[in-house]
Amino acid sequence: MDSAVEKAVECMWRRYGEALSLEELADSAGLSRFYFARLFRDTVGITPGRYLAAVRVAEAKRMLLESSIRVTDVAFAVGYNSLGSFTNYFSASVGVSPGRFRRMANAKAFGPPSVTAPSTPAGTIAGTISLPAGLGNARALVGAFPSPLLQHPVGAAVLVDVPHGRPCCYELAQVPVGTWYVLAVATAATFAGDQQQDGCEVLRSGLIRVRVSAEGVTSTAVRMRRRHLLDSPVLLALPDLVPRPSRLSGDGCPVATPAEALRDVVDG
């Protein structure tokens, strides 16, 4: 039944500026309202309403980046009737206000997401991250998120330079005790023959749900894959995920802490 869910997702991306009801989305998928809602959540990991809200924020980000449209007009264009409601939801999902997002994007000033040191018991999530075959080096943001959406806030995050052809390690330290979703987004270089090219391809991970215990280490493998239609939009403001052009060292596990990664983004 993925095709039915895909039809609904296509409807959201096409009509995000409208006040779409659950019944209209179910009709686009050719299903009853209640069956559609259950199938959508089981397939995608979030409700149709949350997915539509994420699409609206993603489209707002695109408009802010690609045009000089006023923030108020962006809010109305993506289906909001109130600038305040739009600004609040955008800020809560992206991590910065719409106006600041535009300014920081123009200045290329985004670093790794800020993470507040936990005041409660915490543990570690660690494992390997790997790329699909046929791609060059990649730079990935791996994080622990409280929901299946890659959005603000973040429990822990790290930038990882992933070499092509083999997995490498990542570590998310000081993750508060509880249930988290390990999500990742990456940009990988493309290949022509055996030469890495300047072109890039965006990759996503699947949904990985883990339980973190106090002072424990939760192990999980992150397997990046090519994007597909049902992936929920990335809402978090991201640093430039520019893959390293040179051959990455195979010594140890090349995992960068957020502070180290920020220096890489600014100085690299």
Query: Are 94 and 152 contacting, i.e. CB atoms less than 8 angstroms apart?
Result: yes
- Cβ partners under 8 Å of residue 2, min gap 6: 43, 230
State the total domains in the chain: 2
DSSP conformational letter for 207:
-
Same domain for 138 and 234, yes or no, is yes
Based on C-alpha coordinates, what's the Rg of the chain? 19
Cα-to-chain-centroid distance, residue 63: 18
Structural domain for 52, as ranges: 2-106
* Under-50 pLDDT residues of the chain: 251-252, 254-268
Return the structure tokens found at 266.
Answer: 């600014």
Same domain for 152 and 256, yes or no, is yes
Return the structure tokens found at 96.
Answer: 């910065």
Pairing between β-strand 208-212 and β-strand 217-219 as defined by DSSP bridges: unpaired
Same domain for 148 and 259, yes or no, is yes
Same domain for 53 and 139, yes or no, is no
Q: What is the CATH number of the domain that holds 82?
A: 1.10.10.60
Q: What is the CATH number of the domain that holds 156?
A: 2.60.40.1120
Same domain for 101 and 142, yes or no, is no
Euclidean distance between CA atoms 181 and 144, whole angstroms? 5
Nearest residue to 56 (alpha-carbon basis) of 99, 11, 116, 13: 13
**Over the stretch 143-193, which tens digit does the pLDDT of each residue have?**
999 999 999 999 999 999 999 889 999 999 999 999 999 999 999 998 755
Query: Are 112 and 257 contacting, i.e. CB atoms less than 8 angstroms apart?
Result: no
Is 112 within the bounds of a domain? no
Is 111 within the bounds of a domain? no
Same domain for 83 and 130, yes or no, is no
* C-alpha distance across the termini of the chain, in Å: 45
Same domain for 148 and 72, yes or no, is no
Q: Which residue has the tokens 């597909």?
A: 228
Nearest residue to 171 (alpha-carbon basis) of 256, 81, 51: 256
SS3 136: strand
What pLDDT is recorded for position 111? Answer: 87
What pLDDT is recorded for position 245? Answer: 79
